[in-house]
Structure 1
Amino acid sequence: MDYSATIATPVAPELVGRQIVDDLALWWSTRVDRGADGFTVRFNNSHATFAFDPGATQDRFAWTCTDAHMIMDGVDDVAEWKGTRLIWQITPSDGGSMVTLTHQGLGPHIACFDICQRGWQRFFEISLRDHLNGASAQPETSRPAA
């Protein structure tokens, strides 16, 4: 079973997707390198690169991890995220939107599951939710170790 969670926001569905994509540095990590076809997000000495999947709509889009170097205690394979996908689904709700994130490929069968699930709880379930709801988000701000 892949990681999946849903958050609620008062933001209209037609605006949510843009805020997720355009504001990565405000809710996920302050170290985001953007390109026309994707982005790289950095944490300490770790990084993950995502390509924007074709066929995106304002209510459903996905990103495929094309490169990963995620350094975590107890996890030997630093490239575990490579080939996984972040699938975003935005649905209208009373007074706003429901946002579901599924990290396809992030399940109990990979070593980083517990650590990465806690990461998504922090960055998606709390930081992005707070950002969308007008509260102070908590993106990753760490810098590489010297």
Structure 2
Amino acid sequence: MDSFKLDLLMAAPASIIYEALTTQRGIQNWWTTASEVGTTVGQQITIRFGDTYKVMQIEALRPFTEVQWSVSEAHLVVPGLTRTNEWIGSTIVFQLTPHSGALTLLQLEHVGLTKQIECYEICSQGWNQFLGSLKSYVETGKGSPYVEQPSA
């Protein structure tokens, strides 16, 4: 069972990418504006996309090299999706490796997000979209996060 993996070369130093992955401001600028972000191992990160949400515990923070979260709660609201909690028990690992100049290789592995689970396609598309937003954010200062719409 192969987990979802994505490698992206970013024109930004590892320190900037690490900050985007580990701070409230960073997460809100590339992933979703509806989030609460803990900053130390053992704390939680909660992200929301309307009625969809995920709660992750911070498992590892290795400055400028690795960020790891384990998903403890999840509810995916997607038309046609019958299993809404498939992220629970999965682990998200970001590895950062400096390259020449100011280039950094970001390697994402979402352990447990496999082709055997129902949300694989939609969740893979989501990772591709939001990691593109992260790349834009760290390279230009402008990402494309999900923006929570106020209730009417």
Same fold by TM-score, threshold 0.5 exceeded?
yes
- In structure 1, the partner of 2:83 is 77
- Cα deviation 1:37-89 (Å, max 9, x = unaligned): 021000011100010004x3120221000100111122111111011111010
Contact in 2 for aligned 1:6/1:100 (Cα 8 Å): yes
- In structure 1, the partner of 2:124 is 117
2:120 partner letter: F
Matches within 5 A, 1:62-141: 62-95=68-101, 96-124=103-131, 126-141=132-147
Give the distance between the partners of 1:142 and 1:31, measured in 2 at CA: 6
Give the distance between the partners of 1:19 and 1:116, measured in 2 at CA: 20
Overall identity of the aligned pairs, in %: 24
SS at 2:114 equivalent: coil
Contact in 2 for aligned 1:43/1:143 (Cα 8 Å): no
- In structure 2, the partner of 1:20 is 21
2:62 partner letter: T
Query: How much does 1:145 deviate?
Result: 6.9
Contact in 2 for aligned 1:43/1:144 (Cα 8 Å): no
The one of 39, 42, 46 aligned to 2:48: 42
2:48 partner letter: R
Contact in 1 for aligned 2:95/2:108 (Cα 8 Å): yes
- In structure 2, the partner of 1:57 is 62
Give the distance between the partners of 1:15 and 1:131, measured in 2 at CA: 10
In the superposition, the TM-score normalised over structure 1's length comes to 0.91
Give the distance between the partners of 1:134 and 1:8, measured in 2 at CA: 14
Q: 1:145 to 1:117 in 2, by over 3 A?
A: farther
Q: 1:145 to 1:46 in 2, by over 3 A?
A: farther
1:121 partner letter: N
- How many residue pairs get aligned? The number is 144
- Cα deviation 1:7-39 (Å, max 9, x = unaligned): 122222233212222100100001002235021
Q: 1:42 to 1:10 in 2, by over 3 A?
A: same
Gaps of 5+ in 2: none
1:63 partner letter: W
